[in-house]
Amino acid sequence: MLFSSMIFLWGFLPIVFLLYFMAKEQYRNYILLIASIIFYAWGEPIYILLMLLSISCNYVFGLCIHKTGKQTVRRIWLIVCVTVNLGLLWYFKYSTTFFSLVNRIAGQDYIKIKEIILPIGISFYTFQAMSYVIDLYREEIPVQKNILNLALYISFFPQLIAGPIVKYKEVNEQLEHRIVKEDDLAYGIKRFIYGLGKKVLISNTVAAIADNMFAVGVDNLETALTWFAVAMYTLQIYFDFSGYSDMAIGLGRIFGFRFMENFNYPYISQSIKEFWRRWHISLSGWFRDYVYIPLGGNRKGKFRTYFNLFIVFLLTGIWHGASLNFLCWGLWHGFFIVIERLGFGRLLEKNPMKIFNHIYTMLIVVIGWAMFRCSSVGEAITILKAMGTLHSANGYVLRNFVTNYDCIVIVLGILFCGVVQKAVPKIAVWFHENNNNVLEYILLFAVMGLSIMSLVSGTYNPFIYFQF
């Protein structure tokens, strides 16, 4: 069930909202838990059992870690728990690719491969579950003895299928007690509407353009049109994912939860290092806290620091999918992170012409998205060759793919992915705060109305991060 679907907007959400605020405080978590289970089971009923298995395993392992006094035994329980979590993730997300590779290397089908449907959101809720047991092992949080509260933390529907990845220590107190004030409710609704507009009005529009252009094949497009198609995907993935994160943050606030920001206008970055401080912040923070720092971070010399960074970005690529193009995408970003760490970053900081820093960063990011969009390395190479080689088209021009309405959306998308917010900081503050401004009420009403009209009049409503 998508947030940007009519069944969610006019059925699921109003019912949950009414039941939640009609119930006494001690019953509200139960309502949210039942709603979350129904939300997840709506699309994949069978995989609700997998999520319940994950919840049960992490609850039991958490109790074992808590009750065990010996550090060695605690470490064993942690290793077993993390192995179980990663084992489930590996089986459902990576085993098909792994066994296919084994058969290819062997030259025959030694292993019979069964098609496995990827459970929605498994990467997100697995990482959340692991953060609970790891922080419990580190003694940074108290054990959660109420399995229903832990179940709500892992399965809470606003951030279940696309994040942000919430660490348990960020919400453990909110699970026990929270108060929803009028300002929280107003801000949550506002944030949800803005996210809905980003997803439906901008992302869906540029997504259709990108899909239509790639459908004709990059061999049939001029070099400039190939770059334009990748640029449309660049806008699509930002407004798609950040819009969904905005809706998740807004829904969380409506029910009294405060989630961290997941995006901070990454396309205005002056370096790849800055980009990753602004893009998918919850994932970057997760890898920093649970991979980079435990590996030694930057405390064990330069070579080890570079190695740790490569490991982090290798895993970041793999987290997104089993295809080699995701691995290449992760290493691509890791390579430039290391280059900047070697000294190029200092040159960027000293460079008075900041526009060149921005061009460099966006060039790396856009090329990376060209790899990311593909389903294989071969397809990625084809697109990258088309981007890097001047060639003529077979009759296609921009007007074959873009309407006047599309042009307006593209301009708005470019302006509001950080350009306007950086030029006029008050606009960014306006977006993140309650202003009770009549002008904003009019804008919110317009965004909501246009979004509903778009959903009613069309069926094209893709969501990139469902596959992760």
Angle ∠(19,246,33) on CA atoms, nearest 5:
30
SS3 342: helix
- Separation of alpha carbons 206 and 340, rounded Å: 32
**pLDDT for residue 459:** 66
Tokens matching residue 100: 């296919």
pLDDT of residue 100: 81
* % of the chain residues with pLDDT over 90: 64
Q: Render pLDDT for 32-90 as a digit per residue (tens, 0 to 9).
A: 999 999 999 987 788 899 999 999 999 999 999 998 878 899 999 999 999 999 999 99
- The C-alpha atoms of residue 76 and residue 53 are separated, in whole angstroms, by 20
Residues 6+ apart with CB under 8 A from 338: 306, 309, 310
CB 54 within 8 A of CB 154: yes
Given this model, what pLDDT does residue 307 score? Answer: 93
**pLDDT tens digits, residue range 357-396?**
999 999 999 999 999 998 888 888 989 998 888 777 667 8
Q: Which of these ranges, 98-107, 165-174, 317-326, has the smallest mean pLDDT?
A: 98-107
Cα–Cα distances in Å, from 249 out to 257, 326, 392? 8, 27, 45
Q: For residue 205, count other CB atoms closer than 10 A to its CB.
A: 25
In this prediction, residues 175-185 reach a mean pLDDT of 90
Give the containing element (helix H, strand E) for 19: helix 13-22
| Mean pLDDT for the stretch of residues 266-280 | 95
415-444 mean pLDDT: 78
**Which tokens go with 196?**
């809905």
Alpha-carbon distances, residue 184 vs 12, 180, 254 (angstroms):
20, 6, 6
* Residue 230 predicted with pLDDT over 80: yes
| CA dist., res. 25 & res. 172, Å (int) | 16
Told to judge if 177 belongs to the known catalytic residues of this protein, a careful annotator would answer no
Among 63-72, 110-119, 217-226, 295-304, name the one with the lowest average pLDDT. 110-119
Average pLDDT, the chain: 90
pLDDT in tens, 249-265: 999 999 999 999 999 99
Angle of helix 377-388 versus helix 324-339 axis, rounded to 10? 50
Cα(325)–Cα(372) distance, integer angstroms: 6
Q: Per the residue annotation, which of 66, 320, 333, 358 is the catalytic one?
A: 320
Per DSSP, 11 falls in state I
* Best CA proximity match to 154, nearest among 136, 173, 137, 171: 171
